Each structure stands twice: as C-alpha cells, then as structure tokens.
C-alpha cells in the first residue's frame, strides 16, 4: 500500500515499481478496513483489475453508509462545481432539488442512489447547467447521457434556475437509458455480475460501451480511471480531479503491492479534502514525465519541453501551471489534455475508433481509425476539458468527419 500527497503526486508511465513520488511511501498492512477508513477520510485508493473484491475492490458494506451522508459530504463540489465550466454555480434550492431528483429516479428505477450520484458527480460534478458534449453524438445533462432530452443548457439557452423536473429528466436519461443508448440500469444487466462488482463493471460500460476483453477495468478505450474513480466516490472520496494515472492503471492487475514496490496492486493515494479548485492561486509542484517505447524508466524534464519524436509520450500533472491557454497535448494517440485557465487539465481518453496525432498544438488533430466502430455512448467522463465541443479548439472539419458510426465491439 502507498499513501502520497495529491499536490505532490506525479504522473508516470510504467508500473508501480517506477512510480516517482513527491512524498515518502508508507508501508501498510493489506487490510480492507484500513482502506475503507482512510477512503472516508478523503484518500484516493487506486483500485485495479477486474472489479472483484478478491483483488481489492471495495465490498458494498465499505461504501458510504447511506445516500444522505454521501450527498452532504459532497457539498463542496455541488456548490462550486459549475465554476470550472464558467457557469453559475448551483443555488441552495437547486442542490436541494438535485437531491430529491436522485432519490426520485432511484425509486422509479430501483438503482441505488449512491451509485447514481457517484456517476453523476463523475460526469458533471453535479453542475445542473453543465453543457452538452458534442462529438459523434450528443451527451447532455448531469449524467452526460446518450442523446438524452434533459438539459438546462441546450442550444445556447441556459436555465437559471434549473427546474427540478429537468433534473429528473437528465438523471432518468442516464439511469433508465434513452431511445438510442443505454443507462446505468442496462449497463448493470450487461455486466453479467450479481455481486458488488456489477457496479464497477457497469460504470466502465457506461463510460466506454464495454469492458476490455481481458476484464481489466483500467484497459480498453475512453477513460481508463473511470471505474476506480467511481469506487472511490462510493467509499467517500469527493474531488473533481482524480489522482489516478490513466497511462498506468491498465497495467495493474489488482494483486497486492509488495513492500518493495513491486508491480500490480492497489493502494490509497491522498487527495486533499479541501473544496474543488477551479483556478488555484498556487500551483502544485510542477512535474512533467516523459516516457518512450525504448525505456520504462520515467525521466523528468522542464515543463516547457515538447515531444522530440512521435514515440515520446509527455503528460503533465493535472493542475500545474501552463503558459499557452488553449494548447492541446495528445499524449499517446489515445489520451489527451489541454491548457485551460492557466493550468493543465486532467487527462482524458478519446472515443473508440479515433486517435489523435501525438504532440502539442493549437488545434486538436483527431482522425478515425480504419475499423468501423459502434458505441453505446460517448465514452468520456466529466465534461471538463473534454474540449470536443466545436469551438473549443477542435477543427470543425475534423469533427464533421467523425460523425460516422464508430464501434467498440
């Protein structure tokens, strides 16, 4: 197990054995009650592998005990989450209505309100006026649903206040599904599981359309950290930015981490419990990690470095300062981030059947792969910095060229 400070957490490529930390690694016993206790204190536990409890994923009795507690403990995000999108934050009345809306949809669909709320905060930080993400399909509303009808921010019309009825529709679209795409209810059924792992697998299906062939929830397309983020939200972690590294989580298999830092496994990672930060006044310790196919050992270089060849992969620690607003960084063809509001965004994954040209630039060069891909939904989490809405840096011609049907299975 390892515990590190989120503000000093450094993105790396490779396994846990090559992890570079800005704080000491603390050995700890592999004890589930310890992990649960620390998770509810705001630490992030890196879960990996297939979502089963026998490889370290939390049991349901390790979740936050009830929805009311989970909702109240998320109040900082609910009150400030819209700021990251440049939108008016939720009012107290809207927050109260949001709670009622989650409970109503849970009652009508039979889906645990804690699971609904975990996905909702992952997708939109609970911002009732979150914009629609448009790529090959539209993902509107609190749940960023598959072409749903609910939204308080559609076609340039922003509703303030956002009516509770609209919130109910947004959540219903994401839980019960729409005419063209599955919701959480269908994804749980598609997981094929009957134990608690059905929630973690369903989360990955909701994000990307399916689970990777080998069953590892950190592999496949879209957001590699999605399932472990959801598991953490269910056990008491409430933040906008995840400390999970999408470049490495898929290489872990859920087996215990050896005391000497061997590969595999899961462990708690500290993330501050302070309110979400949209524009930090002091940047976290800057770090940039470059890795190539020729070496698994991460190296550190100044934040102004740029890729020297197509085989280099450069990623920036989310939240560190950047000097070129709007600049895109395609890391490895499948994941990307953007310099936005003076800081580097979290790392996100592209939709199935597409890839970006590695490197940095003012435009984001995304193109379709040869395979015909078809997806259940748009496979992104948290609309923040997805940057795939026209006018956010993606060339219009490229976006129009990607409206064809892309597949994943």
> Cβ neighbours of residue 96 under 8 Å, at least 6 residues apart?
none
State residue 358's pLDDT score: 85
Of 352, 303, 363, 297, nearest in space to 330 by CA: 363
Neighbour tally for 147: CB within 10 Å:
16
Output the pLDDT for position 311: 44
State residue 164's pLDDT score: 99
The 8-class DSSP code of residue 355 comes to: E
Q: What is the model's pLDDT at position 406?
A: 27
What are the CA-CA distances from residue 262 to residues 103, 138, 157, 225 (Å)?
43, 42, 52, 21
Q: What is the DSSP string of 69-138?
A: HHHHHTHHHHHHGGGGGTSPPPPHHHHHHHHHHHHHHHHHH---HHHHHHHHHHHHTT-TTPPPEESSSE
Q: Provide the pLDDT for residue 356.
A: 81
- Phi, psi torsion values for 38, nearest 5 degrees: -70, -35
Residue 55's SS3 state is helix
φ, ψ of residue 268 to 5 degrees: the values are: -75, 140
pLDDT at site 389:
30
Torsion sign over Cα 259, 262, 264, 266: positive
Whole-number Å distance between alpha carbons of 395 and 393: 6
pLDDT of residue 77: 96
Concatenated DSSP letters for 267-305? EEEE---SPP-SS-SSPPPP-EEEEETTEEEEEE--TT-
pTM across the whole model: 0.61
Strand pairing category for 295-300 and 288-292: antiparallel
Question: What residue ranges of the chain are covered by domains with CATH 1.10.530?
Answer: 53-251
Phi, psi of 185 (to 5 degrees): -60, -45
Burial of 294 (0-12, 13-18, 19+ CB in 10 A): exposed
C-alpha distances out from residue 29 to 32, 44, 106, 257, Å: 9, 16, 37, 10
Q: What is the CATH number of domain 53-251?
A: 1.10.530
pLDDT tens, residue by residue, 268-277: 554 433 333 2
CB 387 within 8 A of CB 354: no
Per-residue tokens: 279: 């524009």
Task: Collect the ranges in the chain with pLDDT lower than 50.
Answer: 1-40, 256-265, 270-311, 370-409
């Amino acid at each position: 197990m390892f515990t590190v400070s989120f503000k000093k957490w450094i993105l790396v490529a490779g396994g846990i054995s090559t992890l570079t930390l800005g704080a000491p690694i603390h050995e700890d016993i592999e004890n589930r009650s310890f992990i649960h206790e620390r998770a509810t204190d705001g630490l992030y536990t890196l879960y990996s592998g297939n979502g089963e409890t026998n490889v370290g994923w939390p049991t349901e009795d390790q979740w936050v005990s009830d929805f009311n507690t989970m909702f109240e403990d998320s109040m900082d995000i609910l009150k400030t989450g819209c700021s990251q999108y440049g939108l008016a934050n939720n009012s107290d009345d809207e927050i109260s209505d949001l709670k009622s809306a989650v409970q109503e949809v849970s009652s009508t669909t039979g889906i645990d309100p804690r699971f609904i709320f975990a996905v909702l905060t992952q997708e939109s930080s609970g911002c009732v006026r979150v914009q629609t993400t448009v790529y090959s399909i539209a993902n509107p509303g609190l749940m960023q649903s598959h072409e749903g009808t609910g939204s308080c921010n559609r076609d340039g019309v922003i509703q303030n206040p956002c009516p509770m009825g609209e919130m109910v529709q947004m959540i219903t679209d994401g839980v019960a599904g729409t005419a063209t795409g599955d919701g959480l209810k269908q994804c749980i059924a598609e997981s094929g599981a009957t134990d608690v792992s059905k929630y973690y697998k369903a989360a990955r299906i909701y994000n990307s359309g399916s689970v990777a062939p080998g069953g590892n929830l950190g592999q496949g397309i879209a957001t590699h950290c999605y399932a472990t983020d959801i598991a953490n939200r269910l056990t008491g972690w409430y933040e906008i930015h995840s400390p999970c590294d999408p470049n490495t989580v898929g290489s872990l298999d859920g087996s215990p981490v050896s005391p000497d830092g061997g590969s595999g496994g899961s462990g708690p990672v500290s993330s501050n419990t302070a309110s979400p930060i949209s524009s930090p006044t002091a940047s976290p310790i800057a770090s940039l990690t470059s890795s190539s196919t020729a070496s698994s050992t991460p190296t550190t270089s100044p934040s102004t470095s740029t890729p020297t060849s197509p085989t280099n992969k450069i990623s920036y620690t989310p939240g560190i300062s950047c000097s070129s607003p709007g600049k895109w960084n395609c890391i490895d063809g499948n994941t990307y981030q953007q310099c936005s509001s003076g800081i580097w965004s979290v790392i996100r994954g592209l939709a199935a059947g597409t890839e970006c040209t590695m490197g940095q630039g003012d435009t984001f060069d995304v193109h379709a792969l040869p395979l015909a891909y078809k997806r259940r939904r748009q496979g992104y989490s948290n609309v923040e910095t997805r940057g795939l809405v026209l006018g956010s840096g993606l060339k219009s011609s490229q976006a129009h060229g990607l409206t064809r049907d892309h597949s994943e299975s």
